[in-house]
Amino acid sequence: MNIKNIEDNFYRVESSSTKGKFYKVNIKEETCTCPDYIFRARKRGGVCKHIRAVIEKFRKKNTSNFEKIKAAIKEHGEIDTAKLLKEFDEDLIDKLIQQGEVIEYKGKLRILE
């Protein structure tokens, strides 16, 4: 599925059945302009395949970045948080801390073992 970021939280996702037809997905609110979402998924509190595709794209990207963050910390033993924030999104680093994979102490991150 062709997915393009068009602005913060908004993606343009190509229809899998009609080439050249695109739907707008708001990933933050998990909404889509496709008929399946409008007439079915929204009423059930669910999501359509376009929203799922954007979520999956994020999941794969985040998994890769989690590994890169952990590798950078392992390489140095501990690393300055501000240095990592220049390369990676703060939400990703916070998620690793919340999951208990890394710990931040006095502005430094290290792997919990």
The pTM (predicted TM-score) of the whole model is: 0.60
Domains in the chain, number: 1
The dihedral of CA 25, 30, 33, 36: what is its sign?
positive
What is the tens place of the pLDDT at every residue in 67-84? 899 999 999 999 999 999
93 is in which domain, residue-wise? 3-111
What is the tens place of the pLDDT at every residue in 45-63? 899 999 999 999 888 877 8
- Per-residue burial over 9-41, b if 16 or more Cβ lie within 10 Å, else e, is ebbbbbeeeeeeebbebbbeebbbebebbeeeb
